[in-house]
Structure 1
Amino acid sequence: MKKILTVLIVFLMLSCKATNVIEGPEKVLVFTKTSGYHHKSIEAGVKAIEELGLKNNFEVTQTEDSELFSKKKLKQYQLVIFLNTTGDVLNTSQEQAFEAYIKSGGSFMGVHAATDTEFEWPWFGKLVGAYFLDHPKQATATITRLNSTHLSTKHLQEQWIHFDEWYNFKSINQDINVLLNLDESTYEGGKNGINHPIAWYHEFDGGRSFYTGLGHTSESYEVPEFKQHLLGGILYCLKR
């Protein structure tokens, strides 16, 4: 009788563990709400991420609906991407739900204007890693790879020449791990000096965070190096 009880207990424990295992493709929420400047490249960005999802076994849901930011609804996603969001996009209860999501082990990824978002929410500034200051006119610039092993950068050359809109940043979180540095000597209008991070990652408040400053132009999402850069960031956030 004791053996039967032991077997039943073990079976129940394994069953409980099994219910916590992600079944099917991982789910990624791409959030594109704007209350400031609206990037024309958002559609191209969503399409690129959807294509990456099809090829790499993750399911993509795109939304501008901030009502999805509740504790119950966020639980179904393994990653939330802020794709060219701008301005104040979440109310207080939605901010609290997102903080709880990250603290429970959720992941965040910001693309380009994600740093031009939620300036009155200091927690978000630390999560994304910096805030947007300003930018000069779009230009071709040289990016220096600082990390050759990360999934988002290992495919790149030591120097990557790319055309985009280059952000200057303020309130940079000192705990970020910089992946790519922008060479201000190769274009006009840089304000961060020798150390001008343009892509980074870090662990923050229980979750993972990845940010890339690239992605202003629609054409960027057709560049193989950039698409692989995005994919590497996603895979890092999905803990693969």
Structure 2
Amino acid sequence: MVKTPKSVYFIFLHSLLFVFFFVCFSGYSQDNKPTFKVIAFYTAKNDQAHISFVHEANKWFPKVAQQNHFVYDSTSNWDNLNAKFLADYQVVLFLDTRPENANQREAFKKYMKNGGGFMGFHFSAFALNDSDYSQNWDWYHNEFLGSGEYKSNTWRPTAAILRVEKQHQIIKNIPEKFKSAPNEWYRWNNDLKKNPDIEILLAIDESSFPLGTGPKPNEIWHDGYYPVVWTNKKYKMLYVNMGHNDIDYEHGTNKTLSYTFENEPESNLILNGILWLGNSKK
């Protein structure tokens, strides 16, 4: 009977362990490889409520990105809104403002027409003639967002009861009605219900009225239809009117009194939106 040398057993065992660790490591790496990349643009210079939201977003998104296997980057350099830079990202966020430079705007338009993903928050849709953010970008405000020019808002920032208007992937596990975080709510010049390309996903429920506390009478809404989350079927996009935290303006402390992402239904909705945008095709 011929005995097998111990060296042969050692080599066999070593090879077996190598294969085992290689398979395990490969599986681990594959399972944890980021599935898409998000880039958030922001300004964070005007209005303490918007600045507070930007800082909150730049803390919250990296956490959920790690948990859900995508990459989150952010920048205040709007010159990065160009074809070469955007080619590395599948989703673009506007956390507060919009691009003002013609080249930046054209690069974003081409990115969206070529199937890029987009989520805009609150002030990113603001446009008002004779203001610092004039309605001078027709494609973005009228065709892409569909909302047109800003018309008015509620004040102070107050919570609202939001109602699901249409079933969609981002509505998964979202209650039919829920109470939002405090927010300054916008209304628009265009009637989004009449736009066949727009799908309204959430609107303010009538049980919210009166909404706002004033002091100006027009800052308190008593009736009407107000969409707050919608998508445009021609693009891979989502607009979310939330993004204005409540601030202690009255006492001059500028202390944040409420946080958008501390509201569970809202944060789940936004995360669902990011995952939908990042994982879906045009």
State the TM-score, normalizing by the size of structure 2: 0.68
1:80 is displaced (CA, Å) by 0.3
- 2:68 paired residue among 56, 68, 72: 56
Residue deviations 1:26-81 (CA, integer Å, cap 9, x gap): 11011112575451221001211221211111111111111111111111110101
Partner of 2:227: 197
- 2:185 paired residue among 140, 156, 166: 166
Tell me how far apart the structure 2 counterparts of residues 105 and 68 of structure 1 sit (CA, whole Å).
Answer: 18
- The code of the aligned residue for 2:232 comes to H
- The code of the aligned residue for 1:199 comes to V
Which structure's residues are more often strand, by fraction?
1
Larger CA Rg, structure 1 vs 2: 2
Structure-2 change in CA distance of 1:185 and 1:132 (3 Å): farther
* Gaps in structure 2 of 5+ consecutive residues: 1-32, 128-132, 212-219, 246-257
- 2:140 paired residue among 96, 119, 124: 124
1:133 is displaced (CA, Å) by 2.5
Residue deviations 1:127-151 (CA, integer Å, cap 9, x gap): 2332432212112221111224x23
Partner of 2:154: 136
Residue range with higher mean Cα deviation, 126-135 or 92-101: 126-135
1:200 is displaced (CA, Å) by 0.9
Secondary structure in 2 matching 1:99: helix
1:212 aligns with 2:228: no
Aligned residues between the structures: 212
- 1:109 paired residue among 113, 116, 119: 119
Secondary structure in 2 matching 1:140: coil
% same residue: 27
Secondary structure in 2 matching 1:102: helix
1:152 aligns with 2:170: yes
* Gaps in structure 1 of 5+ consecutive residues: 1-22
Alpha carbons 2:37, 2:278 under 8 Å: kept: no
Structure-2 change in CA distance of 1:172 and 1:74 (3 Å): farther
Partner of 2:57: 45
Tell me how far apart the structure 2 counterparts of residues 109 and 192 of structure 1 sit (CA, whole Å).
Answer: 28
1:222 aligns with 2:262: yes
- The code of the aligned residue for 1:97 comes to A
Alpha carbons 1:129, 1:211 under 8 Å: kept: no
State the TM-score, normalizing by the size of structure 1: 0.79
1:123 is displaced (CA, Å) by 0.9
- The code of the aligned residue for 1:164 comes to N
Alpha carbons 2:145, 2:232 under 8 Å: kept: no
Alpha carbons 1:147, 1:154 under 8 Å: kept: no
1:103 is displaced (CA, Å) by 1.3
**Moved >3 Å (runs of 4+):** 34-38
Aligned Cα RMSD in Å?
2.2
Partner of 2:37: 27
- 1:183 paired residue among 205, 222, 231: 205
Secondary structure in 2 matching 1:139: coil
- The code of the aligned residue for 1:178 comes to I
Alpha carbons 1:168, 1:192 under 8 Å: kept: no
